[in-house]
Amino acid sequence: MSELPQRKHPRLKRFDYSLNARYFITICTYEKKHLLSKIRVGRGLAPAEAILSDFGKIVERDLLDLSNRFPYLVIEHYVIMPNHIHAIMSLNAPAGASPRPTIMDIVCTFKSLSTRDCKRIRNIPKLWQTSFYDHIIRNEEDYRNTWLYTNFQ
């Protein structure tokens, strides 16, 4: 029997993910199924746009509602693609704020809530892949490049 390859840990070692920072988050649907939207290509110079499915509308609502659950969180920008979402999130807690949720706590809460809400309209085995991708935005140039990447509309 051959050994399975070691899975690389997706988080930056020794980084405190509860720190005030901007984070670029990508979350993929389970088995990369196209559940969240359809892309409509614009005519002429009109830009492409994502037309949200019922699941996509729930995901959008739950994503935007995160700042009500986590008062120091701001969803600065997001795009919902057919099989994944991109979001720029920033944590802005004042010094000494407690509790200080991590970006993992926030994404885990989002995935749990949106899965529960989507299962109410159709029983699906899973909505999201197990993990997610994150990138800590390091400076304004990085922020601009990330914003442009997620701004296809």
The CATH code of the domain that includes 60 is 3.30.70.1290
In-domain check, residue 140: yes
Query: In total, how many domains does the chain have?
Result: 1
Is 36 contained in some domain? yes
In a domain, 90, yes or no: yes
The verdict on residue 129 lying in a domain is yes
In a domain, 73, yes or no: yes
State how far the Cα of 143 lies from the Cα of 83, in Å rounded to an integer. Answer: 23
Q: For the segment 107-123, what is each residue's pLDDT rounded down to a tens digit?
A: 999 999 999 999 999 98
pLDDT tens for each residue of 6-65: 655 555 567 777 788 999 999 999 999 999 999 988 777 777 888 999 999 999 999 999
Question: Are residues 24 and 137 in contact, defined by beta-carbon separation less than 8 angstroms?
Answer: yes
Does residue 10 form part of some domain?
Answer: no
- Does the pLDDT value for residue 153 go beyond 50? no
**Separation between Cα atoms, residue 47 and residue 93, nearest integer Å:** 36
Nearest to 136 by CA among 91, 70, 84, 77: 91
The pLDDT of residue 141 is 95
Does residue 101 have a pLDDT over 80? Answer: yes
Q: Could you list the residue range(s) of the whole structural domain that residue 138 is in?
A: 22-150
- State both tokens at 84: 């994944």
